[in-house]
A and B are shown apart, each in its own frame.
Chain A
Amino acid sequence: MNSQHDKNVSLTRRDFIKVTGTILLVAGLGDQPARAEGASQGCTLPGQFLLQADGIPPADGYLLVDIAKCQGCMSCMLACSLIHEGVESLSLSRIQIMQDSFASFPDDLTIEQCRQCVDPACVTICPTGALAADPDSGNVRIVDKEACIGCGLCFQACPFTPSRAVLAPDDEYDGQAKSRKCDLCTNAPFHWVAAGGGPGGQQACVAVCPVGAILFTDEIPEQDGDSGYRVNLRDEVWGILGYPTS
């Protein structure tokens, strides 16, 4: 499920022009180190995070999931779009539950969450620096929507399937395509507590999950394979309810 493969995505002509133009722009910037120096001195240009592309610090937080414990209610997905966009939408959710009613446990369901990769391809490829590790938010990989040009390269570059970057029209930008990805609820306009989210705060999917199938951790999970992110969160109480614990 998580191997890289051809993405089934189509960019609009407008998007293609943007991508092309952006590539040209970035190529040009690549030849101008002085531009990068400006960014490091607090320049507010959209590309201010470009300097981090070659030395991206790890994030301070990660989501782990227990696929065998999930009951498929998709409350996490509903909470995700609700807290970020203020609407209910499965298509906007940064965490994706996919299930097949007729299949056998445990292959009937999977949870695909952003891994906040230590080596994040989505950040590396972003031509404008809109997708970057935000030092003010525990280096969580965050999309700056103002800077995002909706090119879809992050969507393409994500090594996992489905892509953890979600590319969709944004009503706040007149329907212009914008990328979204899990920010651990850092930039969540509808967060329910004043302190908000991020690695030091609360994440909506973790808080709302009825069975505790999603866990936040500040420890870097094993990056190779799935084992670091897919964990066993089932305790003896789960067993008392008649479900496997191992």
Chain B
Amino acid sequence: MNGYAGKILRLNLTERTTSIIPTSDYEQWGGGHGIGSAIFFDLVPDKTIDGFDPANVVTIMTSPLCGTLVAAAGGRTEVQGIGVQSYPIGWFTRSNFGGRFSAMLKYAGWDGIVIEGRADEPVWIDIRDEDVQIRDCASLSLWGTNTWECQQSIWRDVVGNGSYGDWFSPRGPRNGHTTQRPAVVAIGPAGENLSRVACLMHDAGNAAGQGGFGAVFGAKNLKAVSVIGTGHIEINDPRMLLETRLWHKANYAFDLADLRVLSTSYQFQDPPVPIALWAQGRPPIGQRPQSCLGCHSGCRARFADGKGNEATCFTTAFYPDAASLDIQRATSDLINHYGLNAPELIWGLQYIRFLHQDGLLGTGGIPPCPLDFNTYGSWEFVEQLVKMIAYGDDGSGNESQFGADISNGFVRAAERWGRLEEDLDSGILLFPYWGLPVHKEPRAQGYWGYGTLLGDRDINEHGFDWLKTLVYVVAPEEREATAEGIVKVITDRMVPFDGDMEMLNFSESNIYSEHMAKLVSWQRYYTRFWKQSMLFCNNRWPDFLNANSPDQLGATGIAEPAYVKAVTGQDISFEDGVYLGRKIWNLDHAIWTLQGRHRDMVHFVDNIYDQLPRVSVDAGIPDVHMPGIEHGRWGFYGYSQRTLDRDGFDEFKTRFYRLQGWDTTTGYPTRSALEALDLGYVADELEQQGKLGDL
């Protein structure tokens, strides 16, 4: 099993026992998400349990590419289980974080970790190669620490009497040695206090942010998982792997001697410029880029003052009105310390500011809010807010119903305040699907919202998002040809729907069409396998267009299978992977169906159908320009200033379900669709639970 460690660690926290699942039992699913879903399906007989239930199973999975030289795929880790963030119920969901955890897990000899049960006291998991211990937090006083303090305490424990900077043997003399610090994923106070918006943190800035997995850990009395590995990963064809990486580097990665793109590090082509979205930019101080293990282009940075280290994306976008750059950077650290999901905080803070502005806090069903909005922008304000969410109190250790409410997430708070429907409809509570914060504008980038609704979480998959930037770089007279040409080269790669250019036509007449159903399907399939099971990085892949390549075409479709071949020896074609993604997607959908998902539940909040975006172009916000056909001509057109049509979206769902082979009345999977994917046993379970669809 080249690329695989060969075994998965199974932990029962209730019994404090460990056992082994042979990876070969689940190898057919590839890795990561596929294996996680399959294990979850097998180990959780009652899929309707709550995420806080000790019977909830959390999987932390790697891929055969983790820990290897594969570009932008060596450092991701996939986390799954029943979440606690989404609404009205916590769906079976996933999150994902970068860094070096998955690599270290494999060097220790494990392809993944399966966590069951609930410890009777707070514990942490100490993995040193094949030695695994479930240890009480008390001896290191870990419970109550923030995510950074926790990791550093564990680091000190693992190195024992030695110090980092030299070789040491984590399991004592006569065993393997390393110079590395253990990779730790930990929760902070937010997770300990079961905040539904708590995340998992690894190193300074890698977060599994979505799903509330911090609270799921907290409910299991699990503070952290630490792993140090001194072993190795077998590679099928080492020379081919090195050749592939160097070919990829030479033809598709940035070249500092010939820099063709000057952008923050999103796409494969981009140079290592951190995705630091602080309102006042990056500080003019010493800094370096910092990347996940094996990545060619760091998307984070570390700074001379240590502030904002490895913070990225949403974490840096929070609190843009901070009085100074230093305060905003410290705020990024703050939410990483406490272990909180940044998008929830961004839109949640906006929500309570609207309520404050309208004089509603402390009136009606809303409890008094301890925050002093006159100090908005200050460090004291944001620190108190973050503590309120993390601890469920007033931020100073005193009881506060308001703090307790928002600790459960802002949608559940609004529900408790009797304001949910009104505030979702008006748009001041920008959580348009499954009680989750908005990301990309659903009215313009339909596939993003559709994919989220048909799934379980903000998809956060950027493979087509960059299309909206082209309007700013392509001259007006070239846009028609450019749009058509780009759409053609992209859709030509989208097997098995290749050749259907209408998939990327975002015009009003096309956004509920069969073509759009194919686009959403393709993205669900591609990402489920290549990005979430093989763990190619979300930002870097797919790589459709690339300014560094001689023909401007990216490596997607070529590079992914080549890397898998080099590492594992398996001949998995690009289309094979998309097919496997479809299989995994069907399994996930079956789990949601068993949880209670029905077609009738799958819809946006009314605001998306009834109103234009609250923050509109009239307020100076740029329109979202996507490819489309208007008056018979391709171009990049602004599509955010429209509403979605209820009937249109309903027709889209029918087309989408039909394309999957699912029951168009209920949305339930059908036996024929599942058996075609070799998932007959899943159909059996659905039938037993009365959830199997009819064609």
Interface residues of chain A, those whose CB is within 8 Å of chain B, are 1, 5, 7-10, 12, 68-75, 78-79, 81-83, 85-92, 96, 98, 100-106, 108-110, 112, 161-163, 167-168, 190-192, 204, 207-208, 210-212, 235, 237-238, 240-244
| B287 on interface, CB distance cutoff 8 Å | yes
Mask: chain B, 152-187; 1 = CB below 8 Å from A; 0 = not: 100000000010111111001110111111000000
| B62 on interface, CB distance cutoff 8 Å | no
- The answer to whether B231 and A89 have CB atoms under 8 Å apart is yes
**Given A78-B74, A100-B164, A243-B288: A192 and B233 interface contact (C-beta under 8 Å):** no
- The answer to whether B152 and A102 have CB atoms under 8 Å apart is yes
Query: With a CB–CB cut-off of 8 A, which chain B residues contact A86?
Result: 235, 238
- The answer to whether B232 and A102 have CB atoms under 8 Å apart is no
Interface residues of chain B, those whose CB is within 8 Å of chain A, are 67-69, 74, 100, 103, 107, 148, 151-152, 162, 164-169, 172-174, 176-181, 203-205, 230-235, 238-239, 241-243, 245-246, 249, 253-254, 256-257, 259, 262, 271-273, 282, 286-298, 302-306, 309-310
- The answer to whether A96 and B179 have CB atoms under 8 Å apart is yes
Query: With a CB–CB cut-off of 8 A, which chain B residues contact A211?
Result: 256, 272, 289
**Given A102-B152, A241-B273: A70 and B235 interface contact (C-beta under 8 Å):** no
Interface of B is mostly: loop
Partner among B238, B245, B262, B296 whose Cβ is within 8 Å of the Cβ of A87: B238
Partner among B151, B242, B296 whose Cβ is within 8 Å of the Cβ of A192: B242
Q: How far is the CB of B648 from chain A (nearest CB, A)?
A: 45
**Given A70-B288, A168-B177, A243-B288: A88 and B68 interface contact (C-beta under 8 Å):** yes
**Given A73-B296, A237-B256, A244-B287: A108 and B302 interface contact (C-beta under 8 Å):** yes
Query: With a CB–CB cut-off of 8 A, which chain A residues contact B203?
Result: 101-102
Query: With a CB–CB cut-off of 8 A, which chain A residues contact B173?
Result: 10
Query: With a CB–CB cut-off of 8 A, which chain B residues contact A112?
Result: 179
**Given A75-B294, A78-B294, A242-B273: A10 and B169 interface contact (C-beta under 8 Å):** yes
Partner among B107, B234, B239 whose Cβ is within 8 Å of the Cβ of A91: B107
Closest to B205 in A: A101
For the complex, what is the distance from the CA of A79 to the CA of B567, rounded to whole Å? Answer: 13
Known: A75-B295, A162-B167. 20 other contacts (CB 8 A): A9-B167, A9-B169, A10-B169, A10-B173, A73-B292, A75-B69, A98-B165, A101-B203, A101-B205, A104-B303, A105-B304, A162-B179, A191-B239, A192-B239, A192-B242, A208-B246, A210-B249, A210-B296, A211-B289, A235-B256
A-B contacts, 28 of them at CB < 8 A, read A9-B177, A10-B174, A68-B286, A69-B288, A70-B288, A71-B297, A73-B292, A73-B293, A74-B100, A78-B67, A79-B245, A82-B69, A82-B241, A83-B242, A88-B69, A88-B232, A89-B107, A90-B103, A92-B232, A102-B204, A104-B309, A109-B288, A110-B165, A162-B166, A191-B239, A238-B256, A241-B271, A242-B273
For the complex, what is the distance from the CA of A235 to the CA of B255, rounded to whole Å? Answer: 13
- The answer to whether A101 and B309 have CB atoms under 8 Å apart is yes
For the complex, what is the distance from the CA of A219 to the CA of B246, rounded to whole Å? Answer: 26
Partner among B107, B273, B305 whose Cβ is within 8 Å of the Cβ of A90: B107
- The answer to whether A104 and B304 have CB atoms under 8 Å apart is yes
For the complex, what is the distance from the CA of A72 to the CA of B289, rounded to whole Å? Answer: 8
- The answer to whether B302 and A104 have CB atoms under 8 Å apart is yes
Question: Residue among B107, B231, B238 with the most chain A CB within 10 A?
Answer: B238
Q: How far is the CB of B388 from chain A (nearest CB, A)?
A: 25
For the complex, what is the distance from the CA of A112 to the CA of B166, rounded to whole Å? Answer: 10
Query: With a CB–CB cut-off of 8 A, which chain A residues contact B168?
Result: 8
**Across chains A and B, which 10 residue pairs bring their CB atoms closest together, nearest first?**
A10-B173, A89-B232, A104-B306, A101-B203, A190-B238, A87-B232, A86-B238, A71-B298, A210-B296, A101-B204
- The answer to whether B298 and A72 have CB atoms under 8 Å apart is yes
Query: With a CB–CB cut-off of 8 A, which chain B residues contact A204?
Result: 242
Q: How far is the CB of B228 from chain A (nearest CB, A)?
A: 10
Closest to B258 in A: A237
Cross-chain pair count, CB within 8 angstroms: 201
Query: With a CB–CB cut-off of 8 A, which chain B residues contact A81?
Result: 232
For the complex, what is the distance from the CA of A12 to the CA of B177, rounded to whole Å? Answer: 13
- The answer to whether A88 and B67 have CB atoms under 8 Å apart is yes
- The answer to whether A101 and B293 have CB atoms under 8 Å apart is no
Q: How far is the CB of B630 from chain A (nearest CB, A)?
A: 38
Query: With a CB–CB cut-off of 8 A, which chain A residues contact B290?
Result: 71-72
Query: With a CB–CB cut-off of 8 A, which chain B residues contact A7?
Result: 166-167
Query: With a CB–CB cut-off of 8 A, which chain B residues contact A78?
Result: 67-69, 74, 293-294
**Given A87-B238, A89-B232: A212 and B246 interface contact (C-beta under 8 Å):** no
Partner among A161, A190, A207 whose Cβ is within 8 Å of the Cβ of B165: A161
For the complex, what is the distance from the CA of A163 to the CA of B165, rounded to whole Å? Answer: 10
Closest to A240 in B: B262
For the complex, what is the distance from the CA of A103 to the CA of B262, rounded to whole Å? Answer: 28
Query: With a CB–CB cut-off of 8 A, which chain A residues contact B205?
Result: 101
- The answer to whether A83 and B238 have CB atoms under 8 Å apart is yes
**Given A12-B174, A106-B286, A168-B176: A88 and B165 interface contact (C-beta under 8 Å):** no
Query: With a CB–CB cut-off of 8 A, which chain A residues contact B107?
Result: 88-91
Q: How far is the CB of A97 from chain B (nearest CB, A)?
A: 9
Partner among A68, A79, A163 whose Cβ is within 8 Å of the Cβ of B69: A79
Partner among B233, B239, B259, B309 whose Cβ is within 8 Å of the Cβ of A102: B309
For the complex, what is the distance from the CA of A126 to the CA of B167, rounded to whole Å? Answer: 20
For the complex, what is the distance from the CA of A101 to the CA of B100, rounded to whole Å? Answer: 11
